[in-house]
């Protein structure tokens, strides 16, 4: 397998030999726009590198502290970075690809190569690509704030139309009747509070106020890594999911086999066993969307829905406000 591939820079006409040698990122101009000639020159260049007759520039061999993986590790430890599992997963995947790149050498062409290899060739959606590139942009901006590189603005694909899935009553009844008691209890709570799964998993009894039938939900958001909390009123169905005793039976409200839930995967595993059998391809997160959509259908003001969902941007609420022809007809017929 050859060390280097032949590529052109974005908007450029001259081919380059691109690859990695001895954990060093290499980009060498072949000085021609003719593909056949570029292939021959690339073979000659590779042979020269392997034999040692061609010495690669020292500008790529900077301190290991300036490698992408080192900067990404510092980024994750920064108090200004969010602490969610999704952020960590995205950063680790980026580190797997860009790990030994010098942070100051990454350019838009490298980013396009990454998108092509890791997303386009795998058929990933624009939304997935945007989320990945958002984290890459954050890491590179963090490096710029440390004085390790020049600023860079990554271009992201246009966000496609957002599709918000919800459950109908028949689907909920079919799924919930098959879930184990522990998983059914936490999923019922999600359906009647709109909580994120991680918020329900980490909910503790000291955050429940039985005098007002409320609880405090919260999670860390990306911007600044700040814990954002909100007080959630509990209707009867949500109250019934929380066992009452004095003292409380445990620290965490929701348990799985007598132990606190450790990750979303535990909920997802039991959930998929049921939904795969029923042929319903929707995740537990759809329970949160269903809660918000029900509020919107009941005419609840968007600002109230945003506050209950923990959204700071009202545009996020618009995805739940789906209308039907019957809504349109009723609106027109209401005019006199």
**Strand locations in 113-266, DSSP E?**
208-209, 214-220, 227-233, 255-256, 259-260
CA angle 230, 235, 241 (to 5 degrees): 90
Between residues 164 and 146, the one the model is more confident about: 146
Q: What is the mean pLDDT of the chain?
A: 85
Cβ contact 207:216 at 8 Å: yes
Residues 19-52 pLDDT 10s: 888 767 777 888 888 888 889 999 999 998 888 8
The C-alpha atoms of residue 188 and residue 310 are separated, in whole angstroms, by 19
Cβ contact 187:172 at 8 Å: no
Closest C-alpha among 237, 197, 232, 199 to residue 305: 232
Residues 218-238 pLDDT 10s: 876 544 456 788 999 999 999
Closest C-alpha among 191, 159, 174, 220 to residue 286: 191
Residues 68-102 pLDDT 10s: 999 999 999 888 787 677 788 899 999 999 988 88
The per-residue pLDDT for 323 is 66
The per-residue pLDDT for 187 is 97
- Could you tell me the two tokens for 167? 């459950």
The C-alpha atoms of residue 330 and residue 334 are separated, in whole angstroms, by 6
Residues 96-122 pLDDT 10s: 999 888 898 888 878 888 888 888 878
pLDDT of 2 > 60? The answer is: yes
Percent of the chain with pLDDT over 90: 42
Residues 253-302 pLDDT 10s: 999 999 998 887 889 999 999 999 999 989 998 999 999 999 988 889 99
pLDDT of 162 > 50? The answer is: yes
Is the pTM higher than 0.75? The answer reads no
Between residues 76 and 164, the one the model is more confident about: 76
pLDDT bin (cut points 50, 70, 90) of residue 125 is confident
Cβ contact 31:14 at 8 Å: yes
Cβ contact 230:247 at 8 Å: no
């Amino acid at each position: 397998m050859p060390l280097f591939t032949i590529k052109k820079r974005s908007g450029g006409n001259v081919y380059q030999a691109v690859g990695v040698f001895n954990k060093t990122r290499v980009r060498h101009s072949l000085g021609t726009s003719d593909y056949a000639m570029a292939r021959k020159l690339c073979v000659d260049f590779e042979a020269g590198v392997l034999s040692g007759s061609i010495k690669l520039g020292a500008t790529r061999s900077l301190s290991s502290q300036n490698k992408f993986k080192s900067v990404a590790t510092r980024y994750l430890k920064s108090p200004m970075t969010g602490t969610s599992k999704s952020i960590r997963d995205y950063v680790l995947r980026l580190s797997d690809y860009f790990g030994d790149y010098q942070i100051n050498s990454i350019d838009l062409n490298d980013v396009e190569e990454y998108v092509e290899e890791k997303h386009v060739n795998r058929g990933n959606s624009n939304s997935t690509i945007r989320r990945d590139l958002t984290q890459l942009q954050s890491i590179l901006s963090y490096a710029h704030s440390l004085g390790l590189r020049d600023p860079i603005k990554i271009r992201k694909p246009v966000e496609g139309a957002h599709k918000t899935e919800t459950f109908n009553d028949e689907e909920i009844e079919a799924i919930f009747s098959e879930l184990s008691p522990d998983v059914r209890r936490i999923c019922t709570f999600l359906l009647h509070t709109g909580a994120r799964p991680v918020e329900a998993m980490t909910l503790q009894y000291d955050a429940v106020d039985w005098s007002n039938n409320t609880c405090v939900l919260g999670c860390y958001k990306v911007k600044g890594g700040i814990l954002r909390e909100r007080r959630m009123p509990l209707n009867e169905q949500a109250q019934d999911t929380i066992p009452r005793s004095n003292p409380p039976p445990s620290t965490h409200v929701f348990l799985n086999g007598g132990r606190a839930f450790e990750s979303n995967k535990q909920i997802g595993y039991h959930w998929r066993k049921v939904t795969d059998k029923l042929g319903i391809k929707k995740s537990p997160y759809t329970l949160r969307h269903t809660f918000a959509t029900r509020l919107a259908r009941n005419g609840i003001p968007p600002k109230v829905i945003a506050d209950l969902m923990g959204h700071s941007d009202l545009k996020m609420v618009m995805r739940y406000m789906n209308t039907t022809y019957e809504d349109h007809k009723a609106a027109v017929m209401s005019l006199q």
